[in-house]
Structure 1
Amino acid sequence: MLGWNITIIRPNEPVLGPDDPRLDAHREGSWSSYISPDLDGDRVASWTAGLGGLDWIDPVGGEPAPSKQLRGGGYPSVYAVPAEVLLAGADRLSARPGLTNDSAVDLSAVVAMPAGEWIVVEAWDQS
């Protein structure tokens, strides 16, 4: 399958905006593995998606969604985005045929997060 295996992580210590120093991928010692230990946390959702599986991070129109790409390349690609971006794009997860092979994506743990909290997205290339 061409696409992505996507995991949503809620960091143990909340990330509250793009200026959080843990999101600086160039900070010495923070990226010795594929994700900073400072951003480790609970896995709150996961799904497998087709090629457009990361479209929800991109804006539908207008201003770009706030996000930071922390690592590229697909093994994995890592992003930090406000939880609201995922929730706003949730309808796009199931609106396109073939986008996800899961019958439902459970975002209840993301819905329960306080407003303004950011999530970490790990996207593993499945090609």
Structure 2
Amino acid sequence: MIGWWIVISTQTPEERSRHADSERRDHILATWEVGLGGLDWVERLVAKSAAQKVRSDGYPNVYVASAETVIPLLVDGPPAHDGAMVIGDDYVMPPKWIGKVEMHRDRIEACPTSQALTIEAWDLS
């Protein structure tokens, strides 16, 4: 495994699976790629019962948490992590790597704190 592609959406997991990409796009608050350790922030939320893990096979891992919990973690961009360097056959990912960040600030700011958010983590292997 080389890391994760994270997608945070205002749609429920069921809505995300039922709709086409074009219909899902407008509900996305943020996406980014992250190296190993990049799920630590959401796993900490699960451990504190502030998020629920709905699926965990990497295709994708799915979590649900309130905007009240998640939005503050996005203020400065994707949550930082302490991931290790990953060396593959034809790539090197530095420690703490985060890439391809897409933050929709207007949607994030307009999101009600009571909104349930779906967090998908797609295995980048």
Alignment TM class, shorter chain as reference: 0.5 to 0.7
More strand by share: 2
TM-score by length of 1: 0.62
Q: Does the residue aligned with 1:59 lie in a helix, a strand or coil? A: helix
Larger CA deviation: 93-102 vs 76-85 = 93-102
* Aligned-residue RMSD, C-alpha: 3.2
Shift in CA distance, 44/76, structure 1 to aligned 2, threshold 3 Å = same
Gaps of 5+ in 1: 16-22, 24-29
Q: How many Å separate the matches in 1 of 2:99 and 2:17?
A: 29
More helix by share: 2
Spell out, residue by residue over 1:18-53, the C-alpha distance to the aligned partner (whole angstroms, 9 max, x if none): xxxxx7xxxxxx6xxxx5539x85222110011121
Q: Which residue among 96, 112, 115 is the counterpart of 1:114?
A: 112
Say how many residue pairs are matched: 104
Q: Which residue among 18, 25, 28 is the counterpart of 1:37?
A: 18
* Residue 52 of structure 1: aligned partner: 37
Spell out, residue by residue over 1:95-124, the C-alpha distance to the aligned partner (whole angstroms, 9 max, x if none): 75624124x552522232112111101110
Q: Which residue among 63, 77, 94 is the counterpart of 1:79?
A: 63
Q: How many Å separate the matches in 2 of 1:57 and 1:85?
A: 10
1:50 alignment partner AA: G
Q: Does the residue aligned with 2:98 lie in a helix, a strand or coil? A: coil
* Residue 7 of structure 1: aligned partner: 7
